[in-house]
Structure 1
């Protein structure tokens, strides 16, 4: 049984996990820390392209990061300059990210699906000096008046006649072996900014989250602490989650590599390709998001076509996943421990996670216990007082993984991180007596229906339990009698496979119980 969480007289919850130790040398920034054990891991594959099988060992990775960083210095990229990466997942994405941060520049990442208007806002906000992208996305950024590095192969078919902005090619930048051109490298500290990742934040519109080298190192050690405690062998981790997002970039890519694990990279998610990659590369650890879990459960016949006996662990995050869905997924992957966690961009990744080797409280619906070094409070949203176990309030977090602040948004930063270092998450949740954290919903998303506070996430979880529902979103609709009533938007698993009466029947049978139980915690 897990060690009970420490809930002190000061109203602070603390982690029962063993503490982590950050490097004491302030100059031990992300890249020196990443390669600190290079002698022992030099020949281990670091990155593998899932489609082609092309692999880079840790020694290869270090060499190429150094060469690319020198090329960036030759383009006059300096410390604290922002470089924007606009690209889908590829083996070159991490190379670019690591090269940027290794010279003290700041990597900003953008969603490749963004429209030109969305990218314009991000470019105006972050003011990058250079953009790294691929041919297929060039039309989105060609009118920004910025130089560009292409990481897709140089081809005669790609010709741009609308701009005179310089374009360099990754392949050509990496050819030079002239050591006389080695540039002086700036000193990089743990406290320096490493990345700007855009998030909707705890409230409001999208904001740039400034994460430091120390944030990434702390989060990486927190993320892999259970692997270290259990003395796990080196894992093979599959990454199809987008690397422009903190989940893919911090929790999977950086955290796993710094431990010496191998990361297999996929451009995007397709259930068949994911299962094929697990079988081919003997993946032992898989990070997913709830819709993927739902797909595994509802298309379990496809799962049976592949030998995935190598898979030992499946970790899910980014949104709450209910106990019932977790249990059903456990039946699909009986050989793998399935657990979930809770995190934010503002905390550089994971805040809490279920214990991988736990033998009790499995599939409780919780997000597990706090990561090592993380403190939490549950604050009553009316009285602003800290709350004991089983009382729901706003989750507040403190630790070395908490962001530096929002980029160029001092007011928003002050509103989010208070004078005592507490990050106000805007999420509602509670701890149980074992120190497991249950995330209920967002404060602003609660629906007030006839005096009850209804959490949309609870209803979404209920709807997703239906075998013919692929996805669901619940919002509040103003109502003269009830104040608000919940309405649901539903995506069926297959076209014309779901009748309205099926949904009504499900809600009629289960929703009253769900609402009344949730109301006990919220009120």
Structure 2
């Protein structure tokens, strides 16, 4: 891939709509709705004008909190048309996490749905922003969220303090085409287009700033690796709020002129129905999703013969599962990709013509236009082929930085532009990489990254808790589950259920520890540092787990 022409997201949508105006752009099988590329572009324009009419300016931060509804995609491609920055909010967030994100991101506007089956978003927002219930829309003055002024509720149900989606779109009628064109012209490809929050081992989530150029060029690489074209139809059930959804899926489709066939919330039945009904050729997901789809195919008949390819990402996929994806889902050209949000997100990928064994035993080679090297963590020198070291990446895909966190940015990206992934791996003489260990203590549950330090800080706010250590333990279904080792204050008593009840409604459900153990002391080094690998050994013995654990600390001395 040569260096592509720089273009903004707005320009990309316009170009694809001009080239393939009648192609399906956005399809919702369960709703029976679909937009052609011309209709999608026009809809995004109307919403962009609505935001402008609301007073949103270039550089303003617009948060969005919702499942894969049509308005999410319209927001993703409408917001950049006026130079605003979209801030994604995980749908599993509760009050503690939402307040932090909205405050740290300096969001002035929040677009949201009313909630999901398991979470009432509206009530959560009113909890942290009670002033919203007693103000006119657009006139919010919040003590805890001083910059937040506008809340837009997707749908037409009226709620105190909030605009409806249609009310905002109507505001755009006063904005001319010339004004919108001027806003687009003022937007630069190197401007930040989207902020996605991710965590490290040092505390709370960090806002990863990705530019138009970052994500469009990474999507172009996805298109090349998957050999996507305007005839392809991608079933998208991965969350839009993650980079895999909004870049690896949505923007990739726009680049190729392919159809986005969307499942609002992952459900294997709805996924396979969508594939069958819309004759999808591409299906992305993490291993847990594919396992659930394969289990369903064992019980029921779905026509998946139209499938050709897709990306398996987020965790290691064993060879038996991959063979079944190829055989039972007809995905002969399925590939494996590795990346992280800070890299827009993809770093390496296998290719559709690689042997299956290579697609399982490695995470592929560097994407076109991306440099990948293995550095010795101690000497900082490049490691020879076959030698373990830290995987580092340099190129167009490296983030602009963490929002308002210069020290964290400098720690992640060195003076020569190398992004240090925190993952240890080996590269062979052909450039194919294997992930051998994670330096970071991230727990990967069903393809979702969970950060122990964040859970530890939250559980430490319980009045009876003295200290907490959180680790991941192996799970045959999800890859890993969360386990908390808790030290209580002297004389205190607490049950496992009481701990979980304390978490409910405050942190995401997938972060609530499945396993809890109360201990008097932790295994520590001579310097007093907690040895988490020994906690993991204790957990495996305590729980009678047979699976091999994934290391939770640095694999080098």
Is 1:418 aligned with 2:414? yes
* Corresponding residue to 2:36 among 57, 72, 75: 57
The Cα offsets for residues 10-69 of structure 1, whole Å up to 9 and x where unpaired, read as xxxxxxxxx233215xxx312102322433300001001131120011000111111111
> 1:391·1:522 contact (CA, 8 Å) conserved in 2?
no
* Corresponding residue to 1:33 among 1, 7, 12: 12
Is 1:86 aligned with 2:49? no
**SS of equivalent residue, structure 2 residue 283:** strand
Paired position in structure 1 for 2:428: 432
**SS of equivalent residue, structure 2 residue 26:** strand
**SS of equivalent residue, structure 1 residue 92:** helix
Paired position in structure 2 for 1:5: none
> 2:230·2:256 contact (CA, 8 Å) conserved in 1?
no
> 1:85·1:132 contact (CA, 8 Å) conserved in 2?
yes
The 1:404–1:71 alpha-carbon spacing in structure 2 relative to 1, beyond 3 Å, is same
The 1:201–1:190 alpha-carbon spacing in structure 2 relative to 1, beyond 3 Å, is farther
**SS of equivalent residue, structure 2 residue 179:** coil
> 2:64·2:112 contact (CA, 8 Å) conserved in 1?
yes
> 1:473·1:489 contact (CA, 8 Å) conserved in 2?
no
The 1:159–1:33 alpha-carbon spacing in structure 2 relative to 1, beyond 3 Å, is closer
**SS of equivalent residue, structure 1 residue 36:** helix
> 2:190·2:213 contact (CA, 8 Å) conserved in 1?
yes
Q: Residues 6-405 of structure 1: matches in 2 within 5 Å?
A: 19-24=1-6, 28-136=7-115, 137-142=121-126, 143=129, 145=140, 146-155=148-157, 158-160=158-160, 163=161, 167-170=163-166, 173-174=169-170, 183=179, 185-186=182-183, 187-201=186-200, 204-228=203-227, 232=229, 234-302=231-299, 304-359=300-355, 361-405=357-401
The 1:22–1:204 alpha-carbon spacing in structure 2 relative to 1, beyond 3 Å, is farther
> 1:135·1:152 contact (CA, 8 Å) conserved in 2?
yes
> 2:313·2:336 contact (CA, 8 Å) conserved in 1?
yes
> 1:85·1:110 contact (CA, 8 Å) conserved in 2?
yes
> 2:109·2:150 contact (CA, 8 Å) conserved in 1?
yes
Distance 2:345 2:478 in 1: 26
> 1:89·1:267 contact (CA, 8 Å) conserved in 2?
yes
Q: Offset of 1:222 from its aligned partner?
A: 1.3
The 1:339–1:476 alpha-carbon spacing in structure 2 relative to 1, beyond 3 Å, is farther
Greater shift in the superposed pair: 41-50 or 319-328: 319-328
> How many residues end up aligned between the 2 structures?
461
The Cα offsets for residues 182-225 of structure 1, whole Å up to 9 and x where unpaired, read as 63533000111111110014754310001111111211111112
The 1:488–1:238 alpha-carbon spacing in structure 2 relative to 1, beyond 3 Å, is farther
> 1:475·1:488 contact (CA, 8 Å) conserved in 2?
no
* Corresponding residue to 1:472 among 467, 480, 504: 480
TM-score normalized by the length of structure 2: 0.75
Q: Offset of 1:112 from its aligned partner?
A: 2.1
The Cα offsets for residues 256-275 of structure 1, whole Å up to 9 and x where unpaired, read as 21210100111111111111
Gaps of 5+ in 1: 1-18, 448-455, 491-499, 516-520
**SS of equivalent residue, structure 2 residue 334:** strand
Distance 2:92 2:360 in 1: 35
**SS of equivalent residue, structure 1 residue 73:** helix
CA RMSD of aligned residues (A): 3.3
Distance 1:193 1:199 in 2: 16
Distance 1:117 1:170 in 2: 30
> 2:373·2:393 contact (CA, 8 Å) conserved in 1?
yes
Distance 2:95 2:409 in 1: 27
The Cα offsets for residues 324-376 of structure 1, whole Å up to 9 and x where unpaired, read as 43234434324533321101110112111110132464443211111101101
The 1:106–1:489 alpha-carbon spacing in structure 2 relative to 1, beyond 3 Å, is farther
The 1:285–1:363 alpha-carbon spacing in structure 2 relative to 1, beyond 3 Å, is same
**SS of equivalent residue, structure 2 residue 353:** coil
> 1:133·1:150 contact (CA, 8 Å) conserved in 2?
yes
> 1:214·1:400 contact (CA, 8 Å) conserved in 2?
yes
**SS of equivalent residue, structure 1 residue 435:** coil
Distance 1:370 1:202 in 2: 26
> 1:353·1:367 contact (CA, 8 Å) conserved in 2?
yes
Distance 2:254 2:159 in 1: 37
> Structure 1: which 4+ aligned runs deviate by more than 6 Å?
474-477, 480-483
Distance 1:86 1:192 in 2: 22
Greater relative contact order structure (CA < 8 Å, 6+ sep):
1
**SS of equivalent residue, structure 2 residue 291:** helix
Q: Offset of 1:298 from its aligned partner?
A: 4.3
